[in-house]
Amino acid sequence: MGKSSLILLVLLACGCCFATYNLLTLVMHHRGTGRWVMDESDDMLIPDPIVEMPKNVKKPRNAKIPFHVALTATDAPYSKWQCRIMYYWYKQQKDLPGSEMGGFTRILHSGSPDNLMDEIPTMVVDPLPAGLDRGYIVLNRPWAFVQWLKKAAIEEEYVLMAEPDHIFVRPLPNLAHTGYPAAFPFFYIKPDKNEKIIRKFYPEEKGPVTNIDPIGNSPVIIKKDVLAKISPTWMNVSLKMKEDPETDKSFGWVLEMYAYAVASALHGVQHILRKDFMLQPPWDLETKDKFIIHYTYGCDYNMKGELTYGKIGEWRFDKRSYLRGPPPRNLPLPPPGVPESVVTLVKMVNEASANIPNWNSE
C-alpha cells in the first residue's frame, strides 16, 4: 500500500478530509487570564492561566469520571521493559483514593502478538506500510489510535494517551472537563516561534497560531469521540510534515507532537494546560503534587550529587542504556545531594523490577 492509498483509506474509513474539517463546537476559550478557578471535585483553588472554564462545565462535586489508559508501543525489548514498569505502577495506583483510572490497553503497532499479551491487556494493530515512517517510529502512533478507536469497545468516555516511559507517581484523577481535554505543556513546543512552518498546515483563515497549544499527544486526557475526530487529521498532518524537508528538519523528533497540536487546532479543540500533570527529571526536582514521571532525559551525576548533563556521570540512569533488554534489578541509588525526583524514579523502577516475574526476559 502506498502513501496516497493509506491516506485515502483513512479518510474514507473515518469520514474526514484534510482540507475540510468538521469543527467541534466548544464553549468559549479565554487565553491568558491568569486567574484562579475552583476545582469543585475537591473544593481546591487551582491556577488556570490558559483556559478559564465557564462555571456550567465544571465537574460536579464528587463525580467520578473514569478514563481509559491507552499506551502505544512497539515489540522492541526497549519498549517492552518500559511498558511492564508502566503497567505495574498503573495497577498500584488505579484503585487508590483520588484515582479515576479505568481500563488499560497497550496498543501494539507491530502487527503481531508478542510475549507480553498475557501480562498486559493488549490490542495488536498494523504498523504503517514499510518505509512510510522513514525510520521515525512514532509516526505509527496516530495510525495506531485511528485503528484502535475503530476496533476497540472502550467503556470509558475519556482516554488518557500515555507512553511507555511514564510512571504513575500517585493516583491520577480525570484532569479533563466537559469539552476541554487536559494536556501537559512542553517548553520546547513553540508554535508561535515557528509560524512560517506552521502556516503550511494551519492556514491563516483558521486563526492565529496561538490557537495551537504547546503540547504533544501525550499525556493528554480527552473524550474518545473528540479523539476519534482528531486522530485521522493528526495522522495525515504527521505524514505531510514528514514529507516536507523544511518541516522535518526543523521539528525533528518532536514532529509528531507538533502534528497533534496542529490537528487539534484544526478541529477547534484547545486544551487545559496542567503543569502538574507530569514531571521530567533531572530538570524537575520534586515529585510533590505531580502525577506522572516522564523519564525521557538521562540523569547523570558525579558522586558529589552534581548534575553533569551531557557528560556521562559517575552515577547515571538513562533509559537508552537498556536498548536491548531491561535494566538489572536493584539499581544503585544515586549519591547524596541528587534531587528527590531522580531518587524516586530509581526507587520506583527497582520496586517494579523486583515484583515483575521473569524480569530479565526480553
What confidence tens digit (pLDDT) does each residue in 134-173 have? 888 889 999 999 999 999 999 999 999 999 999 999 999 9
pLDDT of 354 > 60? The answer is yes
* CA angle centred on 284, ends 299 and 265, rounded to 5°: 110
Mean pLDDT, rounded, of the chain: 87
218-to-20, 183, 208 alpha-carbon distances in Å: 26, 7, 23
Asked whether 180 and 215 are in contact (CB, 8 A), the reply is no
Average of per-residue pLDDT across 232-247: 97
> Rounded CA gap, 196 and 21, in Å?
22
pLDDT of 23 > 80? The answer is no
249-to-141, 197, 198, 255 alpha-carbon distances in Å: 20, 11, 13, 9
SS3 89: helix
User: Grid coordinates representing 85?
Assistant: 514498569
- Quote the percentage of the chain above a pLDDT of 90: 78
What confidence tens digit (pLDDT) does each residue in 36-61 have? 333 333 333 333 334 444 444 455 55
> Rounded CA gap, 342 and 215, in Å?
24
Average of per-residue pLDDT across 128-136: 86
Asked whether 104 and 86 are in contact (CB, 8 A), the reply is no
45-to-39, 48, 175, 314 alpha-carbon distances in Å: 6, 9, 14, 43
User: Grid coordinates representing 268?
Assistant: 477547534
User: Grid coordinates representing 220?
Assistant: 493528554
Q: pLDDT-derived band of residue 178, with 50, 70 and 90 as boundaries?
A: confident
Q: Are strands 122-124 and 101-108 parallel, antiparallel or unpaired?
A: parallel
Q: pTM of the entire structure? A: 0.84
pLDDT of 191 > 50? The answer is yes
What confidence tens digit (pLDDT) does each residue in 292-328 have? 999 999 999 999 999 999 999 999 999 999 999 999 9
Map 225-285 to HEC letters. Answer: HHHHHHHHHHHHHHHHHHHCHHHHHHHHHHHHHHHHHHHHHHCCCCCEECHHHEECCCCCC
Q: pLDDT-derived band of residue 107, with 50, 70 and 90 as boundaries?
A: very high
What confidence tens digit (pLDDT) does each residue in 257-283 have? 999 999 999 999 999 999 999 999 999
> Rounded CA gap, 272 and 177, in Å?
9
> Rounded CA gap, 154 and 337, in Å?
45
Q: pLDDT-derived band of residue 34, with 50, 70 and 90 as boundaries?
A: very low
pLDDT at 362: 67
pLDDT of 24 > 80? The answer is no
Could you tell me how many residues make up the chain?
Answer: 362
pLDDT at 263: 98
